[in-house]
A and B are shown apart, each in its own frame.
With several copies, the nearest count.
Chain A
Amino acid sequence: MSKRIEINDLDVYYGAFKAVEGVSLEIEPRSVTAFIGPSGCGKSTVLRTINRMHEVIAGAYVDGEILLDGANLYGSGVDPVNVRRQIGMVFQRPNPFPTMTIRENVLAGVLLNNRRMSKGDQDDLVERSLRGANLWNEVKDRLGIPGSGLSGGQQQRLCIARAIAVSPDVLLMDEPCSALDPISTLAIEDLIEELKQEYTIVIVTHNMQQASRVSDKTAFFNIAGTGKPGKLIEYDETTRIFSNPSVQSTEDYVSGRFG
């Protein structure tokens, strides 16, 4: 299921503005990679290019390539819709579909694509996904209530269940815990630990403790100033980044001297 990602010399533009410059990195399957860095350095931007979600923003485009198990996501003839089906995404703010029940939310990837599936298969999928997102026990008796009736942390796990229900190879998470309270945060961190068995996971976080707790490797991005493009400063084993980074600004950042 999980796949390797290779980013080669990636520049990302918002119209005329170059937001990110020269990013290259390789992400192993079945691993958790954390993107850290100060605000505005381009973490989210890079993350979104991995499943071509940046294209949703008018005027955004990339230069460079991203390979998924060797296949270029930006090759000609590649359908972004297919890319996104293989590379799921979880956002900063939980965003269950407000018009759908919990069950429908989990099935959204299937239902919205007009795919036919027997009731039994649907039930299976719902249970499997909700279990996968550690939410099954909490909601199994009220699958029919609206998804927005859950607490923030539950909503976020519902979004994760929704993302994994389409069996992606990769799961991208953009600050999935930043709107959650500490208990929910811990639940999600535990979940990431489990999901790693099956998926390649990339997570953006502002919280360095979280990065050091959940990730195998960490990429540190930085920005020289407002209006300058963000750059990948250092990419290494998480333990190394937090204990003995090779670049001074990484050291400054993780030790809290700025940011």
Chain B
Amino acid sequence: MTTAAPAATTRASAPNRPADVIFKAVSTTAGVLILIALAGVAIFLVAQAVPAIIGPLPDDDSFWAWVWPLTFGTLWSAFLAMVMAVPMAIAIALFITHFAPRRLASILGYAIDLLAAIPSVIYGLWGIAVLAPFMQPAYAWLAENLGWIPLFSPPASGTGRTILTAAIVLAVMVLPIITALCREIFLQTPRLNEEASLALGATRWEMIRMAVLPHGRSGIIASSILGLGRALGETMAVAMVLASAGAVTFVVVGSQNPSTIAANIALRFPEAHGITVNMLIGSGLVLFAITLLVNAISRWIIAKTTVDGGR
């Protein structure tokens, strides 16, 4: 509601107090500072990326041909991770808010939160030492018995360090982020609506479907986007766990896996020099653009799907 006020009214006549002005200015500056920092990052990325984009590159490839497999791997691994993490996170958040006994719920919630605090290197170590060997037999089985499904085309990796393993690690890493937010959102479902559905004789699940999920829809999207941002940008864990080959393939159990942009930077940067540095930072720019796009799209979706609550 930003209707222009009739001219003759006394809307804003108060003299501004200096302290108020300063406080507001400080707050505004802080916000603007964030924009400046982000602009700084963007400028840095663009400036470094330009030489790589206009080429020429060592292998005569175009920059885009070089970055495409990495982009694919980034999106594919993040997609796999989200496919696992989002339903899980929603289920866990529901469990904590609506199913578990209350006392237990807060402790369990804390335990899940703790996952967010574990450093990515440790996820990497765990992925190599525990998860990959654990998953390897399953991959072998899948490749052997369900190999006709393109996802599971043999041969299976002998070490289990496939994109699916990396995606599982990513899923575990983003799970607490999404769960924590969904939990807050589900807790804020208007009691009135929950009670309305229960009073109509809804079971617990029906109540969740009628009141909790519709109310939380935009929040679920928003939290998933936050999680997705982490999954897209995760560096160390993926670099350590994934047997990357820069392939463009949907097979999730094999030795030849796509690499991701962030992990590739970590792998290549130490030995990079000259134009390769520009290429790597250029790929960082692509990742940045993806994040920007994903956020914009999610906002658009949220704006479209949110029914305006007011009168």
Binding site for B on A (CB under 8 A): 13-16, 51, 53, 55-56, 58-59, 61-63, 74-82, 84-86, 88-89, 91, 93, 95-100, 108-109, 112-113, 146, 148-152, 159, 162-163, 166
Contacts and interface: CB of A to CB of B under 8 A. Distances in A.
B307 A99 contact: yes
Contacts of B13: 74-78
Interface string B1-40: 1110110111101110100000000000000000000000
Interface string B203-230: 1001000110011010000000000000
A53 to B, nearest CB: 6
A59 B307 CA distance: 23
A166 B192 contact: no
B195 A95 contact: yes
Q: Which of A13, A14, A95 has the most CB of B within 10 A?
A: A95
A162 to B, nearest CB: 7
Contacts of B202: 81, 109, 112
Given A53-B199, A63-B10, A16 B309 contact: no
A53 B201 contact: no
B199 A61 contact: no
Contacts of A91: 192, 195-196, 199
Nearest to B310: A148
Contacts of A151: 311
Given A59-B3, A148-B310, 8 more contacts: A15-B2, A16-B1, A61-B5, A79-B14, A81-B17, A93-B192, A99-B214, A108-B197
The 7 closest A-B pairs by CB, nearest first: A85-B201, A109-B200, A15-B1, A95-B192, A99-B214, A89-B199, A16-B3
B9 A97 contact: no
Contacts of B195: 53, 56, 89, 91, 95
Contact of A162 (B5, B192, B200): B200
Contacts of B308: 146, 148
B95 to A, nearest CB: 16
Q: Which of B15, B192, B197, B199 has the most CB of A within 10 A?
A: B199
B10 A81 contact: no
B210 A80 contact: no
Contacts of A74: 10, 13
Contact of B200 (A149, A152, A163): A163
Contacts of A97: 193, 196-197, 210-211, 214
A40 to B, nearest CB: 12
Nearest to B1: A15
A109 B200 CA distance: 5
A199 to B, nearest CB: 15
B73 to A, nearest CB: 37
B102 interface: yes
Contacts of B194: 56
Contacts of B200: 84-85, 88, 108-109, 112, 162-163, 166
Contacts of B190: 95
A13 B210 CA distance: 29
A211 B203 CA distance: 33
